[in-house]
Amino acid sequence: MKKVVIIGAGPAGVTAAYELEKANSGMEVIILEESHAIGGISRTVLYNGNRMDIGGHRFFSKDKSVNDWWENVMPKQGSPTYDDIVLGRTMPLKEGGPDPEKVDRVMLRRNRVSRIYYGKKFFDYPIKMNVQTIKNMGFATTMVAGFSYLKSIFVKKKEDCLENFYINRFGKKLYSMFFEGYTEKLWGRHPRDIAADWGAQRVKGLSIIAIFKDNFRKLFKIGDASKVETSLIEEFDYPKLGPGQLWECACKDACDMGAKLIYGAKVTNVTLDGNKAVSVTYENENNEKVVIECDYVISSMPIKDLVAGMNDVPANVREVAGGLPYRDYVTIGLLLPSINLKNETKLKTLSNIVPDCWIYVQDSGVKLGRIQIYNNWSPYMVKKPEETVWIGLEYFCKEGDEFWNMTEDEWVKFGTEELIKMGVINSADEVLDHHRENVKKAYPAYFDTYDRIDEVTSYLSTIENLYCVGRNGQHRYNNMDHSMVTSFESVKNILNGVTDKTNVWNVNTEKVYHEEKGEN
């Protein structure tokens, strides 16, 4: 029996295990997970009956195979009523953690509402060219933005950095208002110092023209909604108890089919013999080293750590991998009796709060990057959704810096002061409960040695039985669906004896999303 070692139980690792077992491959599948949680940054955190979605995860893809996979693991609810999906009365919240044995596997259909907070005003995201936007911007600013955009149509900048990528699509004025500040918060670098690759993978088809087309389509109810740019979708699916519930269910299914999951397994080495990986070494919770001989390795661990633990790696590859940067972040969950942001839309919400899933904070006057309102992701995320508002404050930082090392009490004080400054709450006394989550290597970054990453990927591709998958496994800012597809392709290669990794590395590298083109 051949043995496959999968490093990491995030979306990519769980998908790979599930696919191998579903295919009745006859292989022994072992998943090594350093933590005690399934889902990576797509996990659900439970604290005092309230749940946190680490980073915010919409389940939406134009890749049919991905949508079918999700629905096979967790069926959609169908056509839920208002009470079903907003008030949660027909499916009572069950106490305890998101244990797949104890909760219904249900996907809810959610409204995708996001806004930008800029200059103490709220703008739709993506920006809508409507009366409210013009009113918020003011006539003078609107004119400047319009002429700036017209200039960008005729005078294109060389896309050698993220700043120029944005300016070419939105004009300099809109870029400075709605992209520059937030991007610098996220990456800790100015957009002019970041490779345009990030925009090519995350923004791609989004532009002023795309926004106008979408507004026109909605106004006159024409065109094919399935061809809407990913950033413009208005609805998405969401697991009843947050994203982690789906990955926990999928992992359980994989284990029921034969896979083995080992928690607390920190991978330290992948041993090579020529152009093959022959074993994986991990440290268990007793600090004991365990060696597993293997026939295949599917790795979703950060490339930086993977290469550092490999033998006989060329010096240039070790140098580039060692210099690959990451961005970390901290999420502060705050339980409040209410917030000052009232619902002025036609969408129904609990306690008349705004319907936003998240609010992007572009204003440079605060360090806060984004606010999640967990009530609106799913009412089951909140212990008492009709009485309290459970929000998450997201701050981007670097592991080990002054913000990363702040205590939870310091973070709560800092966060509440910024919310008061923004007018979201009135007083720190309104905080009923709180919880902090630090997330390492959440975002693979596109600077420092990233411009030489091809040296690393080319070398890793020569190792016949090693497949790098997922966001950190490829050092690529993939969405969940793209991470899953890297595993789909890897498993196909393993089952068919294909050693060429081109199909795996090519996922989400085109200038236009394969999902935006409607391909499967």
Instruction: Give the tens place of pLDDT for each residue, 125-158.
Output: 767 667 888 888 898 998 998 899 889 889 999 9
How confident is the model over 369-406, as pLDDT tens digits?
A: 999 999 999 888 999 988 999 999 999 999 999 999 99
Residue 417 pLDDT > 50: yes
Pinpoint the alpha helices (H) of 406-501. 408-422, 453-461, 470-474, 480-496
Residue 104 pLDDT > 90: no
Q: In three state form, how does the secondary structure of 136-196 look?
A: HHCHHHHHHHHHHHHHHHHCCCCCCCHHHHHHHHHHHHHHHHHCHHHHHHHHCCCHHHCCC
Mean pLDDT score, 197-213: 58
pLDDT at site 507:
93
Which is higher by pLDDT, 508 or 156? 156
| Long-range own/partner contacts, residues 316-323 (CB < 8 A, 24 or more apart) | 316/452, 316/455, 317/455, 317/456, 317/459, 319/449, 320/449, 320/452, 320/453, 320/455, 320/456, 321/449, 321/456, 322/449, 323/448, 323/449
DSSP 8-class letter at 42: G
- In sign, the C-alpha dihedral spanning 208, 212, 218, 224 is negative
Confidence band of 26 (pLDDT split at 50, 70, 90): very high
How confident is the model over 38-63, as pLDDT tens digits?
A: 999 999 999 999 999 998 899 999 89
Contact between 215 and 92 (Cβ < 8 Å): no
Confidence band of 31 (pLDDT split at 50, 70, 90): very high
Amino acid at residue number 75: P
Q: What's phi and psi for 162, nearest 5 deg?
A: -65, -35
How confident is the model over 227-259, as pLDDT tens digits?
A: 444 444 678 889 989 999 999 999 999 999 999
Contact between 94 and 102 (Cβ < 8 Å): yes
Cα–Cα distance between 295 and 29 in angstroms, integer? 10
Residue 181 pLDDT > 70: yes
Structure tokens at 391: 């929000």
pLDDT at site 223:
53
Give this prediction's pTM.
0.87
Contact between 318 and 488 (Cβ < 8 Å): no
pLDDT at site 87:
47
Query: Which range, of 93-97, 133-137, 463-467, averages the lowest pLDDT?
Result: 93-97
Which is higher by pLDDT, 28 or 103? 28
Structure tokens at 290: 């365990």
How confident is the model over 331-370, as pLDDT tens digits?
A: 999 999 999 988 887 887 877 888 899 999 988 889 999 9
Cα–Cα distance between 485 and 480 in angstroms, integer? 9
Candidates 328, 297, 303, 299; CA nearest to 452 is 303
Q: What percent of the chain lies above the pLDDT cut of 70?
A: 85
How confident is the model over 270-297, as pLDDT tens digits?
A: 999 999 999 999 999 999 999 999 999 9
Which is higher by pLDDT, 88 or 23? 23
Residue 75 pLDDT > 50: yes
pLDDT at site 64:
93
Residue 33 pLDDT > 80: yes
- Give Dmax (Cα) for the chain: 71
Confidence band of 515 (pLDDT split at 50, 70, 90): very low
pLDDT at site 510:
56
Mean pLDDT score, 492-506: 96
- Beta strand extents in 54-164 (DSSP E only): 107-111, 114-118, 121-124
Residue 217 pLDDT > 70: no
